[in-house]
Amino acid sequence: MLFDLAPTSLWLQDLAALKACLDGWKADGMTDLRAWLSDPDHLLACQSRIRILRVNRRTLATYEARDEAELFAHIPAIFHDPHAAALVEVLCRLWDGETHVRLVTRNLTVTGRVIDVSYAGQMLPGHEADWGRYLISIEDITAREERRREEAASRRLAADLFAHSPVPTLVRDDAALAAMLASLRAGGVADLPGHLAAHPAWIAAARAARTIVAANGPALALFGVADRDALAAHLAADPGEGAREAFVEEILDLWAGHEHPSRDVTLRHRDGRDLHLKVQASRLPDPDGTRRLVQVALTDIGDNKREEVRLETLGFTDPLTGLLNRAGYEAALVRLEDDRAAPVSVILADLDGLKGVNDRWGHEAGDAQIRRFGDLLAGHAPAGAARIGGDEFVLLLPATGPEAAQDLMGRILAALDAAAAASPLAPSASLGFATWTGDGPLRAAVARADAQMYAAKRRRYAAAACPPEPPRPH
């Protein structure tokens, strides 16, 4: 009664004839049963000696049979396997002396449906020698195995997408880094930026604690390294300020609870050149909770950065002279004032008589004078020369005091005098200078230099009995 009502499929078999057959083969010299059963005739001989004594009701339901007669009629199809791998495994383990065998295999139902089954066989006590009673329990695990196969397929797909993605991608484990931050918090550290500034060695240790779990081919190629370990070592050892700054920003975001925002960073290729990258990170699920996995996609934005620089250069460059234009000059003023880079000296210059040159010899001659004067200024201060008006120029000279500025202005005037002696079309200019020491706005020094320049222009025109050009606002 218990056998019939059991909730699991049960089979009671008599394997005594099978055991006798195996004993006979052994007596005839058979030593390797697994190799012996690779012969189909030997395998068929074993199968034909298995006697099914009973099956319960659950067995009929599991295999979709109406009764035992229908079930037994379909036995060859139910256990159809050209190599009978499951049967060979069971026989070899019983032959080796095991009395309990477990495995997972696949069967067919009477209707032809494939099912996954968990097989558990037990030689009943008292029959270990003759194999006369062997009880089999079968559990239909199709649903579980289908989920397992789906999960495995999803993992394979994810692995394939990762490996074959055209986007450089890596997966890192931030668990050790998170533990280090938690330790700081537990130790009473409240001002993380201050702690990082005071303990640069902690930053180096934190960078080394971050591990690279995986990296696809494009990520390796991006940095010019051979494998994941080489990439991890390269990123941990990158001496560039961009790498350090990016890492500190990430630490501060994690500390504040801001998970992995997108950011632009500058890292280094193995050959030392800069890589301008957009980093997009996302936290990956970790079922066992032992790791803190983060997937990082890297986009090379070097071309974009170079284009930005090119457009900025065009936007800040005077097309006639190649010097900074008005916009570039204004940006430089703001930068110098923000950096508090005192002392900063300013030399203002204005071409003399440019209108007369244009009227007498044409605008091409006037443009030539502008270019020649621009070249002269660039030769004396290549980074700080700007043309801010038609005939008006500025030299911005950081870390330059009044003595050095006055000396430079004298050299420029001497160069103009030498050029005028050589050619009547050489440019002539009036100059003035002032020095900003950090007190007040930098533009106040510009205004003082401008006033000095127009005073020099008035003296020049007075000496030549010509009216000076009116000053223009800055």
In this predicted structure, the answer to whether residue 471 has a pLDDT above a threshold of 50 is no
Q: What is the pLDDT of residue 467?
A: 52
Q: What are 126-147's pLDDT values in tens digits?
A: 999 999 999 999 999 999 999 9
CATH of span 2-144: 3.30.450.20
Is 281 strand, coil or helix? strand
Is 282 strand, coil or helix? strand
Q: What are 246-270's pLDDT values in tens digits?
A: 888 888 888 888 776 788 888 899 9
Q: What are 22-56's pLDDT values in tens digits?
A: 999 999 999 999 999 999 999 999 999 999 999 99
In this predicted structure, the answer to whether residue 338 has a pLDDT above a threshold of 50 is yes
Q: What is the pLDDT of residue 95?
A: 94
Q: What is the pLDDT of residue 307?
A: 67
Cα–Cα distance between 259 and 281 in angstroms, integer? 9
Q: What are 352-384's pLDDT values in tens digits?
A: 888 888 888 888 888 888 999 999 999 888 778
**Average pLDDT, stretch 328-352?**
89
Q: Residues, the chain, total?
A: 474
| 229-232, Cβ contacts within 8 angstroms, sequence gap of 24 or more | 231/170
**Average pLDDT, stretch 294-304?**
86
- DSSP β-ladder status, 114-123 and 263-268: unpaired
The domain 316-463 belongs to what CATH superfamily? Answer: Reverse transcriptase/Diguanylate cyclase domain (3.30.70.270)
pTM, two decimals, is 0.55
Q: Where are the domain boundaries for CATH 3.30.450.20 in the chain?
A: 2-144, 165-301
Residue 107 buriedness (CB in 10 A; 0-12 / 13-18 / 19+): buried
Determine which helix (DSSP H) or strand (DSSP E) holds 387, and give its type and residue range.
Answer: strand 385-387
In this predicted structure, the answer to whether residue 472 has a pLDDT above a threshold of 50 is no
Integer angstrom CA distances of residue 446 from 347, 440, 441, 449, 455: 8, 12, 9, 5, 14
Q: Where are the domain boundaries for CATH 3.30.70.270 in the chain?
A: 316-463
**CATH value of 165-301 in 3.60.140.10, 3.40.640.10, 3.40.50.2300, 3.30.450.20:** 3.30.450.20
Query: Which residues pair with residue 10 across a beta bridge?
Result: 137
Contacts of 373 (CB under 8 A, 6+ apart): 321, 349, 351, 393, 427, 429
Q: What are 173-215's pLDDT values in tens digits?
A: 989 998 999 999 999 999 999 999 899 899 889 888 888 999 9
Contacts of 450 (CB under 8 A, 6+ apart): 348, 432, 471, 474
Could you tell me the pLDDT band of residue 13, with boundaries at 50, 70 and 90?
very high
Cα–Cα distance between 348 and 432 in angstroms, integer? 5
Cα–Cα distance between 456 and 416 in angstroms, integer? 15
In this predicted structure, the answer to whether residue 473 has a pLDDT above a threshold of 50 is no
Contacts of 268 (CB under 8 A, 6+ apart): 238, 239, 240, 242, 243, 274, 275
In this predicted structure, the answer to whether residue 339 has a pLDDT above a threshold of 90 is no
Least confident of 201-205, 390-394, 465-469: 465-469
